[in-house]
Amino acid sequence: MFKRKKSKHRIVVFAVFFLTVMTLTSARADTAKDRFDEAREAFVERKKLISPISDIDLKTAIEIQDLLVLNVAAEFGSTAGYFQGLTPGGKPLLGVLLENMFTSTGATVVASNSADLQLAPAWVLRIGSTNGTTVADVSEGDDPASFFSELIPAVLIRDDLMSELNSEAIMSQTAVNLGIRFVVMGHPISLSGPGGLQAVSGTLNATLLDSDGATLSAGDGLTPDGARVSSLIRKIASDLKARGRQLRLNDLIILGSAGPVAVLNDSPRVVGRFEAGAEARRIVLAIRSE
C-alpha cells in the first residue's frame, strides 16, 4: 500500500516538473519572438541598439540568433562556419558565419551610416578530414587541430551595433550575431604538408594598413590571447552540440581576431599583409559609404 502511494506521489511530482519545464520553455520562446524584431532591425538596417536587448538570458539570446540566421538566409545564405569571439570581460561568444558574408581580396564593402565599421585581421581555418573522419567525430584522444585542410588569411568586418557595453552585452551581442558583416579572404595556404597547422602556428603574423600606410592593427599568432586551438575547437563543438548542431566538413572557423579591433572612419582603402612561415599573402579591399 505504501509503495503504491509513493509511486503515485512520484508520478505527480514528475507531472508537475514536466509542466513547469514546458511552461518555462514556452515562456522563453515567447520572449525570443518578442525580442527578435529588435535584433533583426539592428542587424539588417545596421543600426546601433539604443539599449541592450532586455529580459533575456543567454539561451534566449541564442534562440534569437538562430531565428535571425534563418530570417536573413535569403540575403546572406546558409551557415558556412563559426566565429569565436570574446566580450571585453573575456566571456566567450559564438557567431554564425553565413556563406554570402565571404568575399575575396579586391572586394569593395559598404560602410554603415549609423554603426561604426570594425576591422581586424584574422585567420580562417577550413575543416578537412583525416582518413575519412571529420572533426565532428574527434575522440578525446585526438587533436582537433590536425583536422584542418587550409589556413586562409582574412579581414573580419563587423558593425558595432552596441551603444554601450555592460553586463548584458554578451546577450545582446549574441542576439545580433556579433554584428558580423563581411569576411574578406586571401589565397589559402594548404595544411596538407608535414606538421600541418602546428608547422606554421608559431610563425603567423598579420597587419592591416590604411590608405596612408599607417598601421590599423597588427598581431602574431592564430588567436588574440594565445589560447590553444584544440581547447577552442572542443569548446565550439560542445556549444554547438548543446544547440543541436555539429561541425561539418568544409566548415570555416575563425578563432578570434588575430590583432586588435580597429574602428575604420575615413580610410577608403585597407591593405592586409599576412605571413605564415615561408608563405606570404596580401588582401586589398575598398570601403565605400552606404
**Residues of the domain holding 245:** 2-288
278 burial (CB, 10 Å; 0-12 / 13-18 / 19+) is exposed
pLDDT of the residue at 204? 94
Confidence band for 136, pLDDT divided at 50, 70 and 90: low
Confidence band for 3, pLDDT divided at 50, 70 and 90: very low
Confidence band for 209, pLDDT divided at 50, 70 and 90: very high
Residue with cell 511552461: 23
Q: Rounded mean pLDDT of 42-55?
A: 87
The three grid cell numbers given for residue 272, joined into one nine-digit string: 592586409
Residue with cell 557567431: 95
Looking at per-residue confidence, does 12 or 275 come out higher?
Answer: 275
pLDDT of the residue at 22? 44
List, for residues 224-239, the tens digit of each pLDDT value. Answer: 776 678 888 888 988 8
The CATH number assigned to the domain holding 189 equals 3.90.850.10
| Weakest mean pLDDT among 33-37, 129-133, 214-218 | 129-133
CA torsion sign for 154, 247, 43, 62 is: negative
Give the chain's mean pLDDT: 83
Looking at per-residue confidence, does 5 or 161 come out higher?
Answer: 161
Number of folded domains in the chain?
Answer: 1
pLDDT of the residue at 290? 75
At 188, phi and psi to the nearest 5? -70, 160
| Cβ proximity of 289 and 111 under 8 Å | yes
Confidence band for 26, pLDDT divided at 50, 70 and 90: low
Question: What is the distance of C-alpha 262 from the center of its chain?
Answer: 18
| Weakest mean pLDDT among 41-45, 53-57, 263-267 | 263-267
- Is the pLDDT assigned to residue 17 strictly greater than 50? no
Q: Where are the alpha helices (DSSP H) in the chain?
A: 2-44, 58-71, 73-76, 169-175, 196-200, 229-242
Q: Rounded mean pLDDT of 202-226?
A: 89
List, for residues 80-96, the tens digit of each pLDDT value. Answer: 999 998 877 778 899 99
At 93, phi and psi to the nearest 5? -125, 150
Residue 172 neighbours by CB under 8 Å, 6+ apart: 49, 52, 53, 61, 162
Residue (of 165, 159, 174, 169) closest to 95 by Cα position = 174
pTM of the model: 0.84
The three grid cell numbers given for residue 168, joined into one nine-digit string: 548584458
Distance CA 201, CA 235 (A): 19
pLDDT of the residue at 41? 93
